[in-house]
């Protein structure tokens, strides 16, 4: 029973994030959807300790994005900036591989003429 409850929570968080991504500009949505799908797939067999941290961070992301989306809708402001800066303390908790991923993500998301391979994924 506990395993099915956990799976339900993971699936619910995953789906909610993808719904919130619909409010992002199309290129950021494509980048974000691909990133989220990849991260959730990679963590299917993570240790319980990693899962706890993974879920907490993605819940924080969902909460931040949800607040920004609601603010954007309220103000009817399509130019609102999405995202948040990471503190040095938070960055010091990351592994080298994660720092590399963040750097690549930052480079992609700040390109002046962003173009992503936008594909529909039925998952």
**Comparing 109 with 39, which gets the higher pLDDT?**
39
What's the whole-number mean pLDDT along residues 115-120? 52
Residues 67 and 82: their CA atoms lie apart, in Å, by 10
Q: What is the pLDDT of residue 19?
A: 96
How many CB atoms are located within 10 Å of the residue 8 CB? 10
The alpha helices in the chain, defined as continuous H runs, are 2-21, 26-42, 48-75, 88-92, 96-109
CA dihedral sign, ordered 115, 73, 16, 56: positive
Residues 99 and 102: their CA atoms lie apart, in Å, by 5
Q: What is the pLDDT of residue 1?
A: 46
Residues 105 and 32: their CA atoms lie apart, in Å, by 9
Give the closest residue to 81 by CA, choosing from 94, 89, 92, 71.
Answer: 71
> What's the half-sphere exposure (Cβ side, CA atoms, 13 Å) at 88?
0
Q: What is the pLDDT of residues 40-56, one digit of tens each?
A: 999 988 888 899 999 99
In this prediction the pTM is 0.75
């Amino acid at each position: 029973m506990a395993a099915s409850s956990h799976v339900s929570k993971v699936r619910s968080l995953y789906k909610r994030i993808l719904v919130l991504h619909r409010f992002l500009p199309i290129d950021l949505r494509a980048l974000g959807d691909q990133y989220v799908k990849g991260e959730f797939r990679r963590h299917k067999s993570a240790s319980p300790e990693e899962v706890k941290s993974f879920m907490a961070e993605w819940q924080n992301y969902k909460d931040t994005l949800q607040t920004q989306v609601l603010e954007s809708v309220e103000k009817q402001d399509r130019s609102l900036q999405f995202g948040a800066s990471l503190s040095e303390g938070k960055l010091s908790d990351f592994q080298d591989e994660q720092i590399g991923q963040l750097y690549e993500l930052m480079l992609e998301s700040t390109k002046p003429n962003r173009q992503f391979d936008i594909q529909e994924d039925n998952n």
